[in-house]
């Protein structure tokens, strides 16, 4: 940032002075919010990395119980995956509508994103219920404990994301596309895409890696 030197004597030409970043005053609210949200996403990446590592270590510790090859229905999980990945596409369309400040397309694509996310969550809960009914509860083995913790944590994030989306649509209805609302909406979009990336890891490592 360059400004005129305030100590220039009268009649002299003003000289440009470059102010160091450390002396430019507090950061804008937008910069602080963006930085904080990226830190949040990074902390989520670290957490899921730990859960993936735990699953990789415990995947073969079935304690004589069923393993992933016997429990997982890959066709069913592929349907779950399609719902979540397509919701990422509709979330991107919602982001484009937000950039154009178009209310109706924003509501439309937000609604489709919510329905697809809810469908994914419903399918996952049904999968968990089936596994528990077959005697494959989290307490059955270390493998199942790691599986339910990893996949369940992702499902919890999806649940919170759906609640966040509903709250944001309420803010759009009541407050319109104010800068703070747009910023929160774009943070949600990043969060939702991050969940899709994590799920691709779950699908590849947990379900496709079962043997």
Counting residues of the chain whose pLDDT is more than 90, the rounded percentage is: 76
Give pLDDT, residue 3.
47
pLDDT tens string 85-108: 999 999 999 999 999 999 999 999
Residue identified by tokens 């005053």 is: 25
What is the arithmetic mean of pLDDT over 196-205? Answer: 95
| Confidence bin at 50 (pLDDT 50/70/90) | very high
Give pLDDT, residue 35.
80
User: 84, 196 in Cβ contact below 8 A?
Assistant: yes
What is the arithmetic mean of pLDDT over 15-40? Answer: 69
CA distances from 80 to 119, 122, 142, 157, 158 (A): 8, 9, 24, 15, 12
pTM of the model: 0.84
Does the pLDDT value for residue 77 go beyond 90? yes
User: Which residues, including other chains, have CB under 8 Å from residue 15's CB and lie 6 or more apart?
Assistant: 4, 5, 8
Could you tell me which residues are beta bridge partners of residue 2? 18
User: 51, 190 in Cβ contact below 8 A?
Assistant: no
Give pLDDT, residue 68.
87
Does the pLDDT value for residue 29 go beyond 90? no
**Count of residues making up the chain:** 211
Q: What angle do CA 184, 186, 192 make, to 5 degrees?
A: 105
pLDDT tens string 184-194: 999 999 999 99
Q: What residue segments make up the domains of the chain, in order of their start?
A: 27-207
Residue identified by tokens 């339910």 is: 148
What is the arithmetic mean of pLDDT over 13-31? Answer: 60
Counting residues of the chain whose pLDDT is more than 70, the rounded percentage is: 86
Give pLDDT, residue 8.
53
User: Which residues, including other chains, have CB under 8 Å from residue 106's CB and lie 6 or more apart?
Assistant: 94, 97, 98, 169, 172
Q: Which two tokens stand for residue 159?
A: 């649940």
- Between 193 and 3, name the one with better pLDDT: 193
User: 186, 41 in Cβ contact below 8 A?
Assistant: no
Cα–Cα distance, 100 to 141 (Å, whole number) = 51
CATH of domain 27-207: 1.20.120.80
- Between 131 and 18, name the one with better pLDDT: 131
Q: Which of 129, 90, 132, 128 is nearest to 112 (CA)?
A: 90
Cα–Cα distance, 154 to 207 (Å, whole number) = 14
User: 199, 79 in Cβ contact below 8 A?
Assistant: no
Does the pLDDT value for residue 12 go beyond 70? no
User: 123, 76 in Cβ contact below 8 A?
Assistant: yes
């Amino acid at each position: 940032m360059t400004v005129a030197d305030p100590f220039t004597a009268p009649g002299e030409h003003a000289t440009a002075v470059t102010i160091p970043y450390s002396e430019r005053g507090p950061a804008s609210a937008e910069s602080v919010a963006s930085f904080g949200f990226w830190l949040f996403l990074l902390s989520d990446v670290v957490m899921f990395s730990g859960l993936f590592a735990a699953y990789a270590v415990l995947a073969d510790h079935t304690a004589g119980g069923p393993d992933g090859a016997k429990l997982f229905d890959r066709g069913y999980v592929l349907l779950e995956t399609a719902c979540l990945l397509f919701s990422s596409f509709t979330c991107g369309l919602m982001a484009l509508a937000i950039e154009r400040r178009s209310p109706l397309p924003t509501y439309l694509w937000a609604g489709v994103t919510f329905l697809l996310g809810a469908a994914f969550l419903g399918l996952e809960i049904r999968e968990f219920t089936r596994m528990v009914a077959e005697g494959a509860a989290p307490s059955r083995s270390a493998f199942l404990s790691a599986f339910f913790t990893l996949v369940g944590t992702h499902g919890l994030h999806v649940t919170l994301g759906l609640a966040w989306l509903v709250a944001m649509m309420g803010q759009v209805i009541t407050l319109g596309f104010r800068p703070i609302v747009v910023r929160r909406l774009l943070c949600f979009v990043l969060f939702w895409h991050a969940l899709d990336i994590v799920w691709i890891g779950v699908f590849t490592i947990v379900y496709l890696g079962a043997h």
